[in-house]
């Protein structure tokens, strides 16, 4: 889409963050996580083969896997690829489909708000506890919950806007501008 009246240049800061910077950041986190997990597991296997037990590598690999798993959620949400049963939705009229999808997004948003609050509280409580292998604060293990919940809320803004538009106009919300049907993640 060219930069213009309806393009990214006319959108607000939140829209630019959601459409440009966050996808790059989230993708980078996943790529770095994959590389780090590979290195950690390779090091752990090599150390075991050499007869040395390196306990912290297992915990570090679990930690990185945890962060990667959480960071995949906003990416899938952004691309409308969260687990869903689309068969019955496809049979409904456009407005009914949009109302149901809007309700789903509102439920995801409400759950994300709860996760921000609970995740923040959990991170505070776990600050004094340390992990056995890395001896890092357990907060590092619970911090993805509120962080990713905030990212989900940011990604929900354009999705909610699209579904509201579909309810009002009766035109399908369709795919996001930045990818087409069948686009890879």
Residue 78 included in any domain: yes
Residue 25 is assigned to a structural domain of this protein? yes
- Residue 177 domain flag: no
For 134, the domain range is: 8-169
Q: Are 71 and 144 in contact (CB under 8 A)?
A: yes
| Helices assigned H by DSSP within the chain | 13-16, 22-49, 55-78, 86-91, 94-125, 139-142, 144-169
What are the tens digits of pLDDT across the range 27-40? 999 999 999 999 99
In the block, which residue shows the tokens 């990713």?
A: 148
Q: Is the dihedral of CA 23, 25, 29, 32 positive or negative?
A: positive
Lowest mean pLDDT among 84-93, 116-125, 152-161, 174-183: 174-183
- The pLDDT of residue 102: 92
In a domain? residue 122? yes
Tell me which residue has tokens 């992990």.
Answer: 131
What letter does residue 130 receive in the DSSP assignment? B
Kindly state the average pLDDT of the residues 7-22. 69
Q: Which residue has the tokens 């501008």?
A: 177
Number of domains in the chain: 1
Q: What is the pLDDT of residues 99-126, one digit of tens each?
A: 999 999 999 999 999 999 999 999 999 9
Does some domain include residue 181? no
Q: Is 76 contained in some domain?
A: yes
Residue corresponding to tokens 């037990």:
53
Structure tokens at 34: 């994959």
174 falls within a domain: no
Query: What is the pTM assigned to this prediction?
Result: 0.78
- Reduced to 3 states (helix: H, G, I; strand: E, B; else coil), residue 137 is strand
Could you say which DSSP state residue 92 is in?
A: S
Question: Are the beta carbons of 134 and 61 closer than 8 angstroms?
Answer: no
pLDDT band at 55 (very low <50, low <70, confident <90, very high): confident
Asked, for residue 58, whether it belongs to a domain, the answer is yes
Closest CA to 81 of 162, 163, 182: 182
């Amino acid at each position: 889409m060219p930069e213009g009246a309806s393009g990214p240049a006319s959108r607000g800061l939140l829209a630019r963050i959601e459409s440009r910077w966050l996808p790059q950041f989230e993708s980078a986190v996943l790529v770095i996580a994959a590389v780090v997990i590979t290195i950690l597991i390779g090091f752990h296997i090599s150390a075991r083969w050499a007869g040395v037990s390196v306990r912290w590598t297992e915990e570090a690999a679990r930690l990185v896997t945890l962060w990667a798993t959480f960071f995949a959620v906003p990416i899938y949400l952004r691309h409308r690829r969260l687990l869903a049963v689309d068969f019955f939705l496809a049979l409904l009229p456009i407005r009914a489909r949009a109302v149901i999808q809007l309700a789903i997004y509102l439920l995801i948003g409400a759950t994300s708000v709860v996760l921000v609050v609970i995740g923040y509280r959990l991170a505070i409580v776990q600050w004094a506890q340390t992990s056995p292998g890395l001896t890092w604060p357990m907060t590092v293990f619970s911090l993805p919950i509120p962080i990713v919940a905030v990212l989900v809320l940011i990604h929900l803004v354009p999705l909610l806007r699209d579904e509201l538009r579909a309810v009002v106009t009766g035109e399908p919300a369709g795919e996001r501008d930045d990818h087409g049907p069948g686009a890879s993640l």
